[in-house]
Amino acid sequence: MFHISMVLRKQSVFLLALVWLFSPGLASAQLALASLESIGSSSLGIQYANAVTNRATNQTTYTATLKNTSSLSLSGPVYLAISGITPNTVTLANATGVSAEGTPYLLINTATLAPNQAVTTSLAFANPTRARFSFTGTAYHTPSVSVSVASPLPGQTINADSVIINGTFQGPANTGITVNGQVAATQANNFYATVPLTLGNNTLAVTATTPDGQTATDTVNVTSSGLAPVKVDASPSGGVAPLAVTFTLTNNTGHPLQSIAVDYDGDGTSDFTASNPNAAFAFTYNAPGPFQAVFDSVDDQGVHHIAKAQVVVKDAAQMDGLFNSVWSGMQSALVGNDQNKALQFLNQQAKDKYGPVFQTLAQDMPAILGSFSPLQRVNISEYIGEYTIIRNIDGVNRLFFIYFLHDQDGVWRIDSM
Amino acid sequence: MKIKIIIVSAGLWLVLIGTSVCFGYGKDTHEEISRQAFNNSIVAQLIAQGKLQDIGLTDTGTGTTFYEGKTHDGQVHSKTIIDWVAQGGYDEDEPFTRSLNHFYDPITGNGLLIFCPSLNWGLGLCTQIYSYKDAVQYYFDGLTNSSISGRSKSLANAFYSLGHVIHLIQDLAQPQHTRLDMHPPWNSSLYEDWSDNFRKKLPFAGYTPVYPSNSSVFYSVTKFWKAGNGIYGDGLAEFSNHNFVSAGTNFTSNKYVYPLLLPTGSQDISILDICNPLKNSNPGDAWICGNDPIPNNLLNAWSQLNPAPVLGFFSTTVEGPSVPANTINQRASTLSIFDPDLVKLNQKQAFTLNRFNFASAQQFLIPRAVAYSAGLINYFFRGSMDASLDANGNLIIKNTSSEDMVGTFTLYYDDANDVRKDVVSKTGLTIGTNKTGSLGSFSPPTSPAPKEPGKYILVFNGKMGQEQNAVSGRIIHICSNVISDDFNGSSLNSSIWTSPVGSSCVSVGGGVLNVSGYPCYPTDGDPQHKSLMSIQTFTPSNSEVKASARIYINGNYQGFGFSSFSSSFFSSLSPYFSIYFDTYDNISGNK
């Protein structure tokens, strides 16, 4: 949160302090500043000028200029909240509204604020006693990316050394989600991950990252009380339909398991029953969707132990669309000779490798790209998208493998070609 | 300058924090390779033979005993030996900052950037708690700790740490790790993700554990990393660095001279032929085509094209002291999508790697990842010794390993409460290979007495071969004056066998000869002689109704048949003897 404190001395304005603060997220139907993202001084500069006090109306006005000083776009709408007006006899006269927190604010810009773009607005303060006053201005915008944890609940105690975490996110296509640095699976605007827990307190930090690098984070603290009596692992835990998954059961009860009833698709109906914990637990998911396989094990003491494994199955055609958007995004940028933009679709290693190639071939790139066939899918796995294209070069049909990798921030990027 | 370095380092850490790095093979792949390695190790053989006592473990010898210990995250687990090794293999990348120490350039000896080279990391020369050095210390404590829970915890840690160390060995079979090919800020490795996809089907087999099969080369832990001059040698880092490219060192940098491209240039291979076993013999092709087939719709589409689409592959020679001459990697690298255009402009090609390159490299690298890991486990447990009493009641240690042992030999036992106590110890003792040394006079402890009479744990710690702080352990049975009855019966069904006073080495009951003892002397080499060690409980089958015993004193045969022994005969024996039981098929008469 970027605060600007100002003091009015008759018609003069003095900038007193710049303060960095950070605020947690909050959701509400009314405009809640806490649900927005405050904009730091490194991203947005605010300048106040042209302070004028009208002695007839006892009103003081300023011109406030907000400039995006970052290299990223700031998604709109952009608000300027005015807080801490001292003395309290002074009020913001032209406020667009008052936030859920009781802070008056101005709507500055409804659209996205591009890099280096500046917008200007007027602030009018009612100052019946023409007192010297100060206030704090803080800019907010609606984040283009957001993320929220639904489960586990804050403070929850988990009787296991791992936990299935899920929640929702908002963001453009190909927004990636990570939990404590581990890439999560996404399905529509939901995310899922099974993350390890250390014994005791754990902070689960979920980060959503857009392809252009904007991020949002939500965190939840949980406590692990130790190993689960029975644990189940899915392998793979994600991919495209049809997805064949095998499950491995770990028995920590100290007692033999006498029966295991498995509901692979989590629909409440048992799909398989075994008496041997080493039985082949396998299931093929033929349709896309998130599935939570439920293993109900009974030990020789008659105690039931429930263990769950998360599986996320994606639609291959949708993934084709995603990969094609990445591929075509790179190509369009290259055709437009915007190599920096083209490199945004590549992971770091590929940037290092293909950056000089793009420069070398810049002039010929439209013709080169024109010889590319459409992408043809070979295989999609949890972390790899494998495609091919064909180029006819001097009468020879040459086949090239194109690889997309789930990058460390969860965004799919081109790795090699 | 010093301040600047610190600032740079801090900045690097800021980049790394919050980033998950899938360094090395995937964690699941490491676990799989670790299990494969363990199953190829001497320890697995001992488990199969019921001889874990040979490495000092007092469990049933079958590997089903659970050891309770903690993983890095503080979670308490109860696991068997193989599961602890596999867990260690899995966990070496946790937390991810450990993986920054998993790189080693054998030519320069450097690690990644400012981080510890994996050799030093594995040896324990950088601060950590799961190094080879730590594994040795845990093993020692697992053999000697007074409490049974302490021994369990330390043995868990020993095998857990061994898993961590062989993870490092396995990373040496990933060329990016030996060619320092990681680019900050980090991104995933296609090769590693690719391997992880097929971790259950990787080509694990085909290479013999390098120790003890090649013990003249791998005579120290360091040699598993680097055994030659760095550029060329039997160390796994040398092998992968010298012979394989990586995504970032794919003939595009001047960082490494090797591998050299064969002068044939790129070879165009039809995609339709690659998976046709009649037209192509590259083993990697067959492997990947069998495990991850290209969809039929694509193959059909490509078959309609004229000419059929081709990939341009580059070949290299695979070299090393233990590599057969003229070994070729036919799929070392591939033409990149922009290479034809770069060539036309007389520019250097970009090269790329795809599924066929990975599969081809894996044919060389994965079997070695298993074999070197198994070899390191074998090396860890290479110590071998035996003990018995001589005619004067002195405890004689025999070094049955292939390296001289110089250090401390201590004999322990467990009392009735499983408290482990030392009986006799001698420091500064040097025993050459196949030589003996004396710990001096031995008297069985009586207060408290051993839980199992005659059962002791012999532990060595000291210099063994090139290793300064080696540890070896073995369960031994010292059977002095154990047979007090005469042997005038001829049938095991007779009741003349009684439990000897003060020992449970030999007893009989219900027609079953129970032998819980061990040979006090090595077997005579006759493979048909069943040593006592392997006959825990000997129940003659219907056809094996005849039995006889052979008594050896100091290795010399002294008598034959039960009826030939009398109490006076045994009373005249030295306490230093071995018994072998022969059984005969009463139908065929065969022994």
Q: How far is CA B505 from the centre of its chain?
A: 32
Q: Do B312 and A182 touch (CB under 8 A)?
A: no
Q: How far is CA A189 from the centre of its chain?
A: 10
Which residues make beta-bridge pairs with A170? A146
Q: B343 touching A, CB under 8 A?
A: no
Question: What's the Cα-to-Cα distance from A34 to each of A4, A27, A190, B63, B251, rounded to whole Å?
Answer: 18, 7, 22, 58, 53
Class of the CATH domain delimited by A2-141: mainly beta
Domain A316-416 has CATH 3.10.450: yes
Residues 223-282, chain B, touching A (beta carbon < 8 A): 247-248, 252, 268, 271
Concatenated DSSP letters for B50-110?
Answer: T-GGGGT--S-SSS---EEEE-TTS-EEEE-HHHHHHHHHHHTTSSGGGGGG----TTT--
Q: Judge whether A154 and A203 are in contact, CB under 8 Å.
A: no
Which residues on chain B are in Cβ contact (under 8 Å) with A280?
Answer: none
> Which are the contacts of A5, defined by CB distance < 8 A and separation ≥ 6?
A15, A16, A17, A19, A84, A134, A135, A136
Q: Do A406 and B77 touch (CB under 8 A)?
A: no
Nearest to A396 among B18, B76, B307 (CB): B307
The angle formed by the CA atoms of residues B162, B109 and B314, to the nearest 5 degrees, is 95
Assign B585 to helix, strand or coil: coil
Shortest distance between the Cα of B53 and any Cα of chain A, in A, equals 25
> Residue A412: how many CB atoms within 10 A of its CB?
23
Q: Do B337 and A161 touch (CB under 8 A)?
A: no
| Extents of the domains making up chain B | 2-197, 385-477, 479-591
Considering the domain A230-314 in this protein, what is its CATH number? 2.60.40.10
Q: A389 touching B, CB under 8 A?
A: yes
- Split chain B (591 residues) into runs of 10 and give each run's mean pLDDT: 38 40 76 98 92 85 82 93 97 92 97 96 97 98 97 97 98 97 75 91 95 97 98 98 96 92 92 86 85 92 96 96 95 97 96 97 97 98 87 84 97 96 96 94 90 89 97 81 33 31 34 35 37 36 40 42 39 43 46 42
The arrangement of secondary structure in A144-227, i.e. its CATH architecture, is: Sandwich (2.60)
- Split chain A (417 residues) into runs of 10 and give each run's mean pLDDT: 36 30 38 80 87 90 91 83 94 92 90 88 93 91 88 97 96 94 94 97 97 91 97 95 96 93 97 92 97 97 97 96 95 95 94 96 96 97 96 97 95 97
pTM (global) more than 0.90: no
The arrangement of secondary structure in B385-477, i.e. its CATH architecture, is: Sandwich (2.60)
Q: Do B298 and A408 touch (CB under 8 A)?
A: no
Which residues make beta-bridge pairs with A292? A310
> Residue A217: how many CB atoms within 10 A of its CB?
15
Considering the domain B2-197 in this protein, what is its CATH number? 1.10.575
Which residues on chain B are in Cβ contact (under 8 Å) with A194?
Answer: none
One-letter identity of residue B589: G
* Residues comprising chain B, all counted: 591
Q: B510 touching A, CB under 8 A?
A: no
Concatenated DSSP letters for B273-338?
Answer: HHT-TTT---HHHHHHHHHSPPPHHHHHHHHTSSSPPEEEEEEEEE--TTSPTTEEEEEEEE--TT
Q: How far is CA A80 from the centre of its chain?
A: 24
Q: Judge whether A105 and A97 are in contact, CB under 8 Å.
A: yes
Assign B265 to helix, strand or coil: coil
Widest Cα–Cα separation across chain B: 99
Q: B298 touching A, CB under 8 A?
A: yes
Which residues on chain A are in Cβ contact (under 8 Å) with B353?
Answer: 416
Q: Do B340 and A398 touch (CB under 8 A)?
A: yes
Burial (0-12, 13-18, 19+ Cβ within 10 Å), A10: exposed
- B42-49 vs B355-380: helix axis angle to the nearest 10? 60
**Residues A100-106: contacts with CB under 8 Å, at least 24 apart:** A100/A28, A100/A30, A100/A31, A100/A32, A100/A33, A100/A34, A101/A32, A101/A33, A101/A34, A103/A33, A105/A31, A105/A33, A105/A79, A105/A80, A105/A81, A105/A140, A106/A79, A106/A80, A106/A81, A106/A82
Which residues on chain A are in Cβ contact (under 8 Å) with B28?
Answer: 235
Strands A384-393 and A396-406: antiparallel
> Which are the contacts of A302, defined by CB distance < 8 A and separation ≥ 6?
none
Probe site for chain B from A180, A240, A353, A365 (most B CB atoms < 10 A) = A353
Probe site for chain A from B19, B20, B94, B275 (most A CB atoms < 10 A) = B20
Residues 17-46, chain B, touching A (beta carbon < 8 A): 18-22, 28
- Residue B275 has a pLDDT of 86
Q: Which residue of B has its CA nearest to A239?
A: B197
Q: Judge whether B22 and B192 are in contact, CB under 8 Å.
A: yes
Shortest distance between the Cα of B26 and any Cα of chain A, in A, equals 11
Q: Can you tell me the distance from the alpha carbon of B196 to that of A382, in angstroms, rounded to the nearest whole number?
A: 10
One-letter identity of residue B176: Q
- Residue B183 has a pLDDT of 58
Tokens of A139: 């800019």
Q: Judge whether A246 and A280 are in contact, CB under 8 Å.
A: yes
Q: Boundaries of CATH 2.60.40.10 in chain A?
A: 144-227, 230-314
- B27-39 vs B190-197: helix axis angle to the nearest 10? 60
Which residues on chain A are in Cβ contact (under 8 Å) with B355?
Answer: 386, 401
Q: Can you tell me the distance from the alpha carbon of A193 to that of A200, in angstroms, rounded to the nearest whole number?
A: 20
Q: Can you tell me the distance from the alpha carbon of A144 to that of A173, in angstroms, rounded to the nearest whole number?
A: 11
Q: B4 touching A, CB under 8 A?
A: no
Q: Judge whether B123 and B133 are in contact, CB under 8 Å.
A: yes
Residues 148-177, chain A, touching B (beta carbon < 8 A): 161
Which residues on chain B are in Cβ contact (under 8 Å) with A396?
Answer: 268, 307, 310
- Residue B526 has a pLDDT of 41
Q: Judge whether B151 and B218 are in contact, CB under 8 Å.
A: no
Which residues make beta-bridge pairs with A221? A203
- Rounded to a whole number, what is the distance in angstroms from the first to the last CA of chain B? 80
